[in-house]
Amino acid sequence: MTITKRKTLAGSFALTALLMMGVVVHLANRPAVATEGRERIAPQPPVAQMKAAEDLSAVFQYVAETVKPSVVNITSVKTIKPMMRGGQEMPDEIPFPEFFERFLRPDTPRGGFKQQGFGAGVIVSEDGHILTNNHVVADADEVTVTLTDKREYKAKIIGTDPKTDLAVVKIKADNLTPAKLGDSDQVRVGEWVVAVGHPFGLSYTITTGIVSAKGRANRAVAEYEDFIQTDAAINPGNSGGPLVNLKGEVIGINTAIFSRSGGYMGIGFAIPSNMAKSIMQSLMDHGKVVRGWLGVGIQNLDEAMAESFGFEGTNGVLVGDVTPDGPAEKAGFKQGDIIVKFDGKQTKDSNQLRQMVAATSPGTKVEVEVFREGRRETLDVTIGELESGLATIKGHEAEDEDLGMTLKSVTPEIAEQLGLKQAKGVVVTKVEPFSAAARAGLRRGDVIVAVQSKPVDTLAEFNEALSRHDLKKGVRLTVFTEGMRRFVMLKNASSDE
Query: Interior CA angle at 74 toward 242 and 168, to 5°?
Result: 65
Please, are residues 353 and 217 in contact by the beta-carbon 8 Å criterion?
A: no
Residues sharing a CB contact under 8 Å with residue 465, sequence separation 6 or more, in sequence order: 451, 452, 454, 456
Closest residue by Cα to residue 490 from 479, 480, 475: 475
Neighbouring CB atoms inside 10 A of 247's CB total 15
Please, are residues 302 and 326 in contact by the beta-carbon 8 Å criterion?
A: no
CB neighbour burial string for 305-327, b if at least 16 within 10 angstroms, e if fewer: bbbbbebeebebbbbbbbbeebb
Residues sharing a CB contact under 8 Å with residue 353, sequence separation 6 or more, in sequence order: 298, 317, 339, 342, 347
- Distance of CA 339 to CAs 117, 319, 343, 483, 484, Å? 43, 7, 11, 21, 17
Q: Is position 165 annotated as part of the catalytic site? A: yes
Query: Interior CA angle at 374 toward 371 and 378, to 5°?
Result: 35
Which of 12, 184, 239, 282 is flagged as catalytic?
239
Residue 52: HSE in the Cβ half-sphere, 13 Å Cα cutoff: 18
Closest residue by Cα to residue 268 from 246, 287, 253: 253
Q: Is position 302 annotated as part of the catalytic site? A: no
The residue type found at 402 is D
Distance CA 343, CA 360 (A): 10
Which of 76, 135, 198, 212 is flagged as catalytic?
135
Instruction: Provide the 3-class DSSP secondary structure of residue 430.
Output: strand
Closest residue by Cα to residue 280 from 203, 366, 178, 191: 178
Closest residue by Cα to residue 132 from 100, 157, 105, 106: 157
Residues sharing a CB contact under 8 Å with residue 63, sequence separation 6 or more, in sequence order: 194, 206, 244, 246, 248
DSSP β-ladder status, 397-400 and 384-385: unpaired
Please, are residues 273 and 253 in contact by the beta-carbon 8 Å criterion?
A: yes
Distance CA 237, CA 218 (A): 23
Which of 55, 165, 226, 446 is flagged as catalytic?
165
Q: Is position 321 annotated as part of the catalytic site? A: no
Positions marked active-site:
135, 165, 239
